[in-house]
Amino acid sequence: MAFLSLILAAVLLVPAIASGQKRRSSKPRLSRDEQIEAALRKRTQKIQDQYCRDLVRIANWAALQGLKKEATGLADRIKGINPGYSRLEDVQEKIEKAEQESDADKNEKNGKSLLTRLKTADKKQGSELVKLATGCMKVGLFTKSFDMISHVLEISPDDSKARRILGYKKDTKTREWISTWEYGQRRKNFITEEGWFEKKKKKDFDAGLRPYKGKWIPAEREKSIRTRNEYAPYSVKSEHFEVLTNMGRERAWEFALKLEDFYTQFFRTFIGYYDQIAGAKLLFNRPDVKKMHQVILFPSRNDYLLHVKQEKGNDKLLKESAGFYSGSDRKSRFYWSDNEEETYRTFYHEVAHQLFAETKETRSGGSRGNNWVVEGIAVYIETWKKLDGHWVPGYETGGNRMVTAKRFLAASKNWGLQSFAHIDNDQFHKVNRGLNYCLAGALCYFFMHYNDEVYKEDFVRFLSAYYMGKVSNDSLAEYIKVEGGGGFNALEKQFKEYMATLGEKKPEAEKDEAEDALEE
């Protein structure tokens, strides 16, 4: 709920096109439209205050009815929205003086009435947020609009406008909201723990048969073939991914769903990598997928290394890796290890390479210098963590790579950002490769999170320019503008100071920060 108070910060950067001005491509920064900013701020505050007033009325009513526990929960909700809300202390005093109703029948009746009142308040707030989100979309604030709509569905899951904006349709039989893609799938297919299958083959499926080369054969026979033959793997398709593995359909489907979840967060974070229209379509999952992103999952490191040798020969870098993405055949490859958390970090690292390359026409070979950014942004993504159903980008600051970068910078006073930006691709991967990965990931972390993400949008546009082949050795300081000037020297100083204190918060503070991030 606290995210409402932070929408104010979200509207500070508004594209120049919103005010009818032409944006100059040579200038990475977006200009502000003060009138739009003021209007969105005023509207946000109004929605927040109205919702708090509604919750105060409901909390007071609950306290009078003897629903003391429920009233306390509402007071906590108000505090989460606006800790300094003027009427918060009054309602807390009334709750303290209230007596808990002991009559079970009255509690049940009042509890139902409370839910009805809350549903009405949530629906009203949701309606206002949808209007505000639509306004944000009109001026190019797609990520903020997406966040608002997602929040509407948290408090009012059946809001039809919010559902449709995010591409949902209601199943006429089950009355549940599902994605447009799933809606289409349900027309001809049925869902299982192994993925989707054609409805006309349900009897075969129930009889224990599975598809193999156009025929349906016993599942055990298929298993004996697919588990021992790398080139005859199980294939499971989700909305955007095709997973190929010898580990079984159920594991493949589970993995595909993980990737779909990551897919949404990826576009939410990097929408600035695309032009506004293309980015909005990807974020809101509107276009049909022309070609699926293929990933290969190996059962073990030995299976992975055997594949690397067969497909890539004795490539030293690949033999030392935990996975890789190949642009030549547009496939990501990884293996499953005993450390599940570490395994998924590798998956997301490589799939990030894949999505940057395959969701936009690129020609990164034209860029000169700044070769650190390709691996750096993928290493940065390893710091993302899923907490209580929500992604928290940058949560993991204590990983080996971040710690290594921090220690190196503290001990190496002569390290220079500008010289690091000039390293060519060959040098990056063959001279101090491991350290270069650590420093590149730390740099991306810095640009994505420093000082309330002040550099994030410019950095994502810099990343886009790199993939488009438009970056030269010194482009970084041209895209990332430091207030007051200073170029590379100023950025380097900020980076070193930032890394020196990163991750030094007490565990309690880190927990509170993570909870705040989830609420936002």
Is residue 271 a contact partner of residue 143, using CB atoms and an 8 Å limit?
yes
Q: CA torsion sign, 357 to 360 to 364 to 369?
A: negative
Q: What is the pLDDT of residue 288?
A: 62
Q: What is the pLDDT of residue 450?
A: 94
The position carrying tokens 């691709």 is 425
Could you give the 3-state DSSP secondary structure of residue 472?
A: coil
Q: What is the pLDDT of residue 82?
A: 80
Residue 507 has pLDDT above 60, yes or no: no
The pLDDT confidence band at residue 18, using thresholds 50, 70 and 90, is very low
Q: What percentage of the chain has pLDDT greater than the value 70?
A: 87
Q: What percentage of the chain has pLDDT greater than the value 90?
A: 52
Residue 356 has pLDDT above 50, yes or no: yes
Question: For all residues of the chain together, what is the average pLDDT?
Answer: 85
Is 3.40.30 the CATH number for 227-359? yes
pTM confidence score: 0.76
The pLDDT confidence band at residue 38, using thresholds 50, 70 and 90, is low
Across 161-189, average pLDDT? 89
Name the β-bridge partners of 295.
Answer: 243, 332
Residue 509 has pLDDT above 60, yes or no: no
Is residue 272 a contact partner of residue 457, using CB atoms and an 8 Å limit?
yes
Instruction: Give tens-digit pLDDT for 451-503.
Output: 988 899 899 999 999 999 999 999 999 999 888 888 999 999 999 999 999 98
Give the range among 37-41, 167-171, 438-442 with minimum mean pLDDT.
Answer: 37-41
Residue type, 51: Y
For the chain, give the number of residues.
520
Q: What is the pLDDT of residue 99?
A: 86
Residue 436 has pLDDT above 50, yes or no: yes
Instruction: Give tens-digit pLDDT for 470-479.
Output: 999 999 999 9
Taking phi first (over 0 means left), then psi (-120 to 50 degrees means alpha), and beta for anything else, what does residue 313 get?
Answer: left
User: For the chain, what are the domain ranges?
Assistant: 3-165, 227-359, 366-519
Please, what is the end-to-end C-alpha distance for the chain in angstroms? Answer: 6
Across 31-47, average pLDDT? 67
Exposed (0-12), middle (13-18) or buried (19+): which is 451, by Cβ within 10 Å? exposed
Could you give the 3-state DSSP secondary structure of residue 152?
A: helix
Q: How many CB atoms lie within 10 A of CB 9?
A: 12
| C-alpha span between 349 and 343 (Å, rounded) | 10
- CA-based nearest residue to 27, from 456, 462, 447: 462
Q: What is the pLDDT of residue 164?
A: 85
